[in-house]
């Protein structure tokens, strides 16, 4: 699974804007990597099944599908919970 390219990130731009507004996250490169406290926290991938986001939950990453707006909202809520 490859990291999301420019076209994929263009589709995710509204979500990326919401993530950029969250305190405690630093975007190292557009949509590819967000860091929290100096550690990779979330990033995006694309594959034939669609767009996915990996979110660090403890020591591991959990994968979320982010193709639909409902999936993106679910992912954003998981990010907000992880930041608490």
User: For 29-65, how does the pLDDT look when each residue is reduced to its tens digit (9 = 90+)?
Assistant: 887 689 999 899 999 999 899 999 999 988 899 999 9
Q: Where are the domains of the chain?
A: 2-83
Structure tokens at 66: 């982010």
Query: Confidence band (pLDDT; 50, 70, 90) for 5?
Result: confident
Whether 81 and 73 have beta carbons less than 8 Å apart is answered as no
Cut 0.75: pTM above it:
yes
Q: Which residues on adjacent β-strands are paired with residue 42?
A: 34, 55
pLDDT of residue 17: 95
């Amino acid at each position: 699974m490859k990291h999301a390219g420019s076209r994929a990130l263009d589709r995710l731009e509204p979500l990326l804007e919401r993530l950029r507004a969250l305190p405690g996250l630093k975007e190292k490169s557009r949509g590819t990597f967000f860091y929290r406290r100096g550690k990779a926290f979330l990033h995006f991938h694309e594959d034939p099944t669609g767009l996915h986001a990996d979110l660090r939950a403890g020591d591991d990453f959990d994968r979320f599908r982010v193709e639909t707006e409902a999936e993106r909202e679910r992912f954003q809520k998981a990010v907000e919970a992880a930041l608490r």
